[in-house]
Amino acid sequence: MKKILKIAIDSPAAAGAGTQAKLIAKHYNLFHLDTGKIYRFIANENLKNKKKLSYKSIEKKIKKLQFKQLRNKKLLSNKVATEASIIAKDKKIRKIVHNFQTRCAHYPPKNFRGSVLDGRDITSVILKDATIKFFITANVKVRARRRYKELKLLKKKVNFKEILKSIKKRDKSDYERTHSPLKKTKDSILINTSNLTKRSCFLKIKKIIDKKLKFNGNL
């Protein structure tokens, strides 16, 4: 099998990982998958149906999932985020989602040089063999402010204190869950975005990737 470039990114909520993953994907022609959106998709389906979907139903929906469905703006709501955090603790659901994520990572669509995945357990579970691993983080208040601005731009009625409370709750859930908790692996490169602009953060990451590619013979 042809060797491809695989970049794995883990981060707590609203640290800027999604933005950086998109920039990386565009610059290096990589397939990008925001893995957290898959849990949000399932959460949104549960909320729409007003009841939990069976594992069989979830498996069917994931098999038929089209990437454009992950761009649904409803997936950004705090209600969906909270439900997604609960769903992500379910071992059987994680297995269904993990299988999908692994396929995307190792077999990206044609014409892509490789893949970049961001989520909570990408470096530790999904892409243990990644070419490069990053752990992107930021101060919790900075992250809450970013999410507040993001939702305001979408004309959502939001309250900063509620968002801060929600992110702290999600952090606790992500770091303390039994199955595939969020953690920085030993081989992940730490990037703190608290005082970085989107561009300065990308340039810092790009420098690391370019150095790695040069060392590996440009893959």
Share of the chain above pLDDT 70, in %: 98
Q: 10 Å Cβ neighbour count for 120? A: 27
User: 33: which residues sit within 8 A by CB, 6+ positions away?
Assistant: 67, 101, 104, 105, 115, 116, 117, 118
- Separation between Cα atoms, residue 219 and residue 212, nearest integer Å: 10
Mean pLDDT of the chain: 93
Report how far apart the first and last C-alpha atoms of the chain are (Å, whole number).
Answer: 13
Q: What does the domain layout of the chain look like in residue ranges?
A: 5-202
The sheet with strand 189-192 has its strands ordered as 30-34, 114-119, 5-10, 132-137, 189-192
What confidence score (pLDDT) does residue 179 get? Answer: 86
Q: How confident is the model at residue 217 (pLDDT cuts 50, 70, 90)?
A: low
**pLDDT tens digits, residue range 109-166?**
999 999 999 999 999 999 999 999 999 999 999 999 999 998 899 888 889 999 999 9
Are 92 and 55 within 8 A, CB to CB?
Answer: yes
Q: Are 147 and 163 in contact (CB under 8 A)?
A: yes
- pTM > 0.85: yes
Q: Which CATH number fits domain 5-202: 3.40.50.300, 2.60.120.10, 3.20.20.70, 3.40.50.10210?
A: 3.40.50.300
pLDDT at 77: 86
Number of H helices, E strands in the chain: 8, 5
